[in-house]
Amino acid sequence: MDKETTISSIEKLLSAQEMLLFRIKNGIYNNRGENLDQILNQYTDFVEFFRNPKHNFRELMGGIAYDNIMTYANNGLEECARIYYVYFTEPQGFFKKIKFKDPSPIEIEKAKSYHKDLLTISEKLTEYINIGLQRLNSLDKDKFK
């Protein structure tokens, strides 16, 4: 990717991540847990974008920023999975369709706690992504493939 495409892709991902966090909050606090069926896939895609070696983010953003991005992204993915499994069961058998389960009040409180942790992680993640973006903006175009 060239410089402009790389920066624009990351900015779009950040925007999509904000929407995802809003969807998670809405699902948990407005009793719409059944709408959270795609959160794990979306967050996984977010993490995989940064993990993809062909993007060369480690070299472009710098090791410290990239390592922190990956740490917080993986921690966020864990919290996202915890929220997801409050509302859905693991697919079993031949037909692997996710199944919504009606969580107990205690499970909903756990989901709220996981969401709070996810927000804290996301703040740090966004901070390091912005540091990485500053670095990308300062690099010459010829550093990008």
The domain of 59 spans 3-139
In a domain, 48, yes or no: yes
pTM over 0.95: no
Q: Quick count: other Cβ atoms within 10 Å of Cβ 64?
A: 11
Q: Has residue 145 been placed in a domain?
A: no
If one counts the domains in the chain, the total is 1
Rounded CA-CA distance 73/53 in Å is 16
Each residue's pLDDT, cut to its tens digit, for the chain (145 residues) gives 899 999 999 999 999 999 999 999 999 999 999 999 999 999 999 999 999 999 999 999 999 999 999 999 999 999 999 999 999 987 776 666 778 899 999 999 999 999 999 999 999 999 999 999 999 999 999 998 7
Instruction: Give per-residue pLDDT as tens, 87-102.
Output: 998 777 666 677 889 9
Cα–Cα distance between 105 and 107 in angstroms, integer? 5
Spatial distance between the Cα atoms of 32 and 87, rounded to a whole number of angstroms:
10
Smallest CA-to-CA distance from 84 within 44, 30, 124, 126 is with 44
